[in-house]
Amino acid sequence: MLGLKLPTDPRWVNIVEKNIHEILTDHAFCEQKATSTAISFIVLFPEYTDLVQEMTALVKEEISHFKMVHDKIIARGWTLGRDRKDEYVNKLMTFFPKGGSRVDFMVNKLLYAALIEARSCERFRLLSEEINDAELAEFYRNLMASEANHYTMFLGFARKYGKREEVDKKWQDLLNFEAEIMKELGTKETMHG
């Protein structure tokens, strides 16, 4: 349903379980980055009224996710750590060449966002099924549905404003590229590591 070409090795959850503080810190910053991305769509593409409306709602939702994760960190007696580099996202975002039209730029940015939501959703699902922590399993089960909706929304906007065939081709190419990146990952206690 998410279109991903390579599932995460479930052993990634065993790595995560050993360092819950680390995964929660990394996850909190994923939600912060999702919020920042939603704001950046408003700043970059203000004339797309329906996109601006959806992004405004998304800012609220993603920052509320940030708070939910932050609350979990506090409840466990910890403090939010420093932001981590997201190697996965940095690599993924090298895929589309720079330049092109403004619509191309928007479509590419929408496709990156859709894919990051899809992979996050897959990781949340795996955590909800495999993590040896009932409270977090439940937490990730609830978040999984939100991220699946975001994935559909971003892909929907890309298809609405780009040429359908071109967008679908780009999406398939990006999925293949992402699967290559994922072959090297699944070894760290970060959300996309």
Point out which span in 112-120, 133-141, 153-161, 180-188 binds Fe ion (CB under 5 A). 112-120
Pick from 15, 20, 61, 21: which is nearest to 38 by CA?
61
Nearer to Fe ion, 62 or 189 (CB): 62
Q: CB atoms < 10 A from the CB of 101, how many?
A: 8
Q: Output the smallest distance, CB 99 to Fe ion, in A.
A: 28
Collect all residues with Cβ–Cβ distance below 8 Å to 153 and sequence separation of at least 6. Answer: 54, 58
Site for Fe ion (CB under 5 A): which residue of 109, 150, 188, 192? Answer: 150
Point out which span in 90-98, 110-118, 124-132, 174-182 binds Fe ion (CB under 5 A). 110-118
| CA–CA dist 168, 94 (Å, integer) | 19
In the chain, how long is the greatest CA-to-CA distance? 51
Q: Output the smallest distance, CB 51 to Fe ion, in A.
A: 15
| CA–CA dist 41, 52 (Å, integer) | 7
Interface with Fe ion, residue 122, by CB under 5 A = no
Interface with Fe ion, residue 34, by CB under 5 A = yes
Site for Fe ion (CB under 5 A): which residue of 27, 65, 119, 159? Answer: 65
Residues that bind Fe ion (CB under 5 A): 31, 34, 62, 65, 117, 147, 150
